[in-house]
Amino acid sequence: MTVTARRFERLPVEILDPPDTLARAVAHRIAALVRVRHAEGRRCVLGLATGSTPVGVYRELVRLHREEGLSFRHVETFNLDEYWPIAPDSIHAYHRFMRENLFDLVDLDPAATHVLPGDVPADKVAQACAAYDAAIRDAGGIDLQLLGIGKTGHIGFNEPGSGADSRTRLVTLDTVTRRDAGADFFGEQNVPAQAITMGVATILEAREICLLATGEHKSGIVRRAVEGEIDHEVAATFLQRHPAVTVYCDAAAAADLTRVATPWLVDEVEWTAPLEVRAVVWLSQQVGKAILKLTGSDYIGHHLASLLARHGHAGVVNGLVFNALGGRIRGRSKLPRDGAVICFSPHPDDDVISAGGLLRKLHLNGNRVHVAYMTSGSIAVFDHDVRRYVDVLERLAASNHLARDRVAALSGRVLAFLDAKTPDDVDIDEVQDIKRIIREAEAVSGIETLGLRREDARFLDLPFYRTGTVKKDPIGPADVAIVRALLEAERPDLLLVAGDLSDPHGTHRLCKDAIDAAVAEAYPGGGGRPEVWLYRGAWQEWPVTEATWLVPLAQEELRLKIQAIFKHQSQKDSAPFPGQDDREFWQRVETRNKETAALLDRLGLAEYFALEAYVVA
C-alpha cells in the first residue's frame, strides 16, 4: 500500500486473490508463529474464529500438519464466541465446528483448546465469562487473533453499540446477524437470540490480529471498518487502535476501498481502457450528466486531469467510452446461433433468475441449449412443502392411482420424522428425495416457460452437496468427473457459469471450481475450449463498467423471465435463504435488470426496458 493510500486506509490491507491464496497466506503466518514460539520453548496462544471465511485457513493448517510436519502439541487456543444456549454437539455449535475443521485433525491437546460454553446455565454465564478471560491471562495472552467481520461490522459477536472496554460476556444478537445465520440454522427462527463473545477489549489485547473478509457482500463493511471513523456502531473500527492489525481481503471484499474503486482519487494511475471506462462512468454519475456532455472542467474538478491530458480533449475521452459501452450491447441478432450451449445452474433456479432472458434468445437463435443443475437445492425446501406433496400422494392413493400400501409406508416414515424433527436434525433420505424432486420438477417447468424442452434439463446432483446440511464437502474428483462427462458428451461452444461471490453458502463458488477443473481436464491443451460467460446470481448484477456483454430485454421478455422464476414455487413468497434482501427473487431481478437499463439511459446511451449483464471469463 502506498503512502498516499494510507491517507484513506486506517488499517493495513492485504488484497490476495483468489480466497485460497488468502487462506494459505494467513495459515503460513500462523505456522511461522507456531514454529517461532516452539523454538523459544514457549506455547503459542491462538485466538480462533468460526464461519465460512477461516475454513480455508484451517484446511491449510491441517495440510501443513499432515504433509510438512507442523505440530500443534505446544499450541493453546481460545475461540472468539459461541451461541447461547446451545449444546456442544449441536451441528450449529462452534465447539463442533472447531472439532470438525481443526481440533480433531491435528495433534492439539484437547485440554489446550478453549471454546466458550454455550450450555452453561444462565446463572453461571457471568462466572464462566470471567473464568475465560482469566484463562487467557494465565496462558500469557493471545499471540495472534483471527477475526472475521459481520455485515454490521461485528467482530466476534460484538454487535453495534459494543464498547471499547467490553469484556467476555453474554450479548443479544442483532437482527442482521441472526438473519445471516438463518442459512445455517434452516431458518432465522431457529437462531439463538443470544451468544457469548470475547469483548472488544479482550480482542485488542492480542499481540497480533488478522481480520479476514471474502466476498463482495463484505465490501461495504470492509470499507467502513478500514476507512471510516471509529464508531461504537461498528465494532471493527476499534481495531484502528491496535498497533499490529492486518486486514486480509480477496478482490471482491476489497472492491469498495477507495484505492480499488476510484484509484485516481488516491494517486497517479496508469490508464488502461477498462479503467478509463470506470472513471468516465463514475464522473458521469458524480456530475449528473450524460457521457457526451462531460466537459474538461468536469474532469479537472474531479481529479481526472491526467485522463484529460492523455487524450487532449474531453470530447475524445467521451467518445471513446461512449462507443466502448455501446459496443457491449448485444441484441438477439448479435448472439450466438446454431451452436451448443450449456448453462450451469448451481441451484435449480439460478438459471432463470440470472440468465432467463439470454436463454430464451439463445433458444430462439437455434442453439441446442442444455441447463445443467449442479446441486439438488434440497435444503432450500420448507418442510411444509414436503407435507403438501405427501398429501397429494395420499389423495392419489385414495383414488386408486397409486399403490396405497407403498404410499402409506412412505407417508408414515416422512410424517413421523417431520413431527419429531428439531433444527439439529438432518433430513432422512426420503425427505431429501422429496425435496430434490420438488426442485427438479420446478426447474423443468421453468425452462419450459422459456421454450426449452424438459429433456434439456440435466440434473447432475454433485456429491459435494449431498450432506443434508448447509455445510458442504470440498469439491472432489467425483464432482469434477460428472461435469467433465457432460462437457465431453455435448461438446458445447458456450458455457454460462455463475460467477458471483455473494452466495451465502459458497455453493456458487464451489460449483465454479468444479467447472474450471472439468474444463481443464476435458480440454488439456486448451484447444476447442468453449467460451465462458459469467452471470451473477440472485444478489447482485455485474456493473456496466465490468460487463463484457449487455443483453437487452423487451418488456414481454422480462415478463416471460419472471414467469419462469414463478415456477419455482418452493422459493416464492418466502425463500428459506433470502439473504439480507426481503424482496422475492423475481422482484430483485426486475429491479436490477431495469436499473441496469436505466443507468445506460442516464449515461446517454440507447434506452432499453431492461438489461442482463455478462462477463466473458
List the CATH number of the domain containing 467. Answer: 3.40.50.10320
Residue 176: its pLDDT value, please? 86
316 in the same domain as 185: no
228 in the same domain as 131: yes
Determine the Cα–Cα distance for residues 549 and 187; give it in Å rounded to an integer: 37
336 in the same domain as 216: no
Cβ-Cβ contacts under 8 Å for 582 (sequence gap 6 or more): none
Cβ-Cβ contacts under 8 Å for 391 (sequence gap 6 or more): none
72 in the same domain as 24: yes
What is the SS3 assignment for 489-555? Answer: HHCCCEEEEECCCCCCCCHHHHHHHHHHHHHHHHCCCCCCCCEEEEECCCCCCCCCCCCCEEEEECH
Residue 503 covered by a domain: yes
Residue 391 covered by a domain: no
Which grid cell is 515? 467447472
Identify the CA nearest to 136 among candidates 104, 165, 105, 114. Answer: 114
HSE value, Cβ hemisphere, 13 Å, CA-based, for 235: 31
Residue 417 covered by a domain: no
Q: How much of the chain, in percent, has pLDDT values that exceed 70?
A: 97
Residue 471: its pLDDT value, please? 74
133 in the same domain as 18: yes
Which grid cell is 84? 447461547
What are the start-end ranges of the H helices in 290-382?
Answer: 296-300, 305-311, 314-326, 350-364
Residue 400 covered by a domain: no
452 in the same domain as 345: yes
* DSSP state, residue 229: P
Determine the Cα–Cα distance for residues 308 and 35; give it in Å rounded to an integer: 53
Which grid cell is 539? 444478489
Residue 451 covered by a domain: yes
pLDDT (tens digit per residue) in 220-242: 999 999 999 999 999 999 999 99
442 in the same domain as 296: no
Instruction: Give the model's confidence band at 93: pLDDT under 50 very low, under 70 low, under 90 confident, else very high.
Output: very high
Q: Per-residue pLDDT for 537 more than 80? A: no
First to last CA, the chain: 28
Instruction: Give the model's confidence band at 381: pLDDT under 50 very low, under 70 low, under 90 confident, else very high.
Output: very high
Residue 472: its pLDDT value, please? 81
Instruction: Give the model's confidence band at 75: pLDDT under 50 very low, under 70 low, under 90 confident, else very high.
Output: very high
Residue 575: its pLDDT value, please? 61
> Looking at 200, 233, 252, which one is the last position of a domain?
252
Name beta bridge partners: 369. 341
Cβ count near 567 (within 10 Å): 20
Question: Residue range 333-350: average pLDDT?
Answer: 97
- Residue range of the domain that includes 465: 332-381+428-616
pLDDT (tens digit per residue) in 581-598: 678 989 999 999 999 999
User: In one letter, which amino acid is 90?
Assistant: S
Residue 583: its pLDDT value, please? 84
User: What integer best gives the mean pLDDT of the chain?
Assistant: 94
Instruction: Give the model's confidence band at 11: pLDDT under 50 very low, under 70 low, under 90 confident, else very high.
Output: very high
Residue 401 covered by a domain: no
Instruction: Give the model's confidence band at 2: pLDDT under 50 very low, under 70 low, under 90 confident, else very high.
Output: low
Identify the CA nearest to 436 among candidates 351, 370, 347. Answer: 347
Pairing mode, if any, of strands 245-249 and 340-345? Answer: unpaired
Residue 149 covered by a domain: yes
Identify the CA nearest to 82 among candidates 48, 109, 131, 105. Answer: 48
Distance of CA 71 to the CA centre of its chain: 32
Residue 4: its pLDDT value, please? 53
Judge contact between 231 and 266, C-beta under 8 A: no
Residue 423: its pLDDT value, please? 84
Instruction: Give the model's confidence band at 579: pLDDT under 50 very low, under 70 low, under 90 confident, else very high.
Output: low
Q: Per-residue pLDDT for 574 more than 90? A: no
* Better-scored residue on pLDDT, 489 or 502: 489
Q: Angle CA(410)–CA(411)–CA(415) in degrees, nearest 5?
A: 120
How many domains is the chain built from?
3
505 in the same domain as 559: yes
Distance of CA 120 to the CA centre of its chain: 33
Range name among 68-82, 191-205, 331-345, 498-512 with the lowest pLDDT average: 498-512
Task: Give the H or E element holding residue 171.
Answer: strand 169-172
pLDDT (tens digit per residue) in 292-323: 999 999 999 999 999 999 999 999 999 999 99
Model confidence, pTM: 0.88
3-state secondary structure of 167: coil
Residue 413 covered by a domain: no
Q: Per-residue pLDDT for 483 more than 70? A: yes
Pairing mode, if any, of strands 610-616 and 549-553? Answer: antiparallel
pLDDT (tens digit per residue) in 36-56: 999 999 999 999 999 888 999
Residue 439: its pLDDT value, please? 98
Looking up cell 464437502, which residue turns up?
Answer: 473
603 in the same domain as 463: yes
Determine the Cα–Cα distance for residues 444 and 200; give it in Å rounded to an integer: 51
> Looking at 229, 252, 275, which one is the last position of a domain?
252
Residue 528 has phi, psi (to 5 degrees) of: 80, 5
Q: Per-residue pLDDT for 198 more than 70? A: yes
314 in the same domain as 206: no
353 in the same domain as 223: no
536: left (phi over 0), alpha (psi -120 to 50) or beta: beta
Positions annotated as catalytic residues are: 159
341 in the same domain as 226: no
Q: Per-residue pLDDT for 348 more than 90? A: yes
Instruction: Give the model's confidence band at 540: pLDDT under 50 very low, under 70 low, under 90 confident, else very high.
Output: confident
Determine the Cα–Cα distance for residues 335 and 448; give it in Å rounded to an integer: 21
Q: Per-residue pLDDT for 401 more than 90? A: yes
> Looking at 326, 341, 371, which one is the last position of a domain?
326
Task: Give the H or E element holding residue 215.
Answer: none
77: left (phi over 0), alpha (psi -120 to 50) or beta: beta
Determine the Cα–Cα distance for residues 454 and 444; give it in Å rounded to an integer: 5
Cβ-Cβ contacts under 8 Å for 423 (sequence gap 6 or more): 92, 185, 186, 187, 190
Q: Per-residue pLDDT for 123 more than 90? A: yes
Residue 369: its pLDDT value, please? 98
Residue 576: its pLDDT value, please? 57
Q: Output the domain CATH number for residue 244.
A: 3.40.50.1360
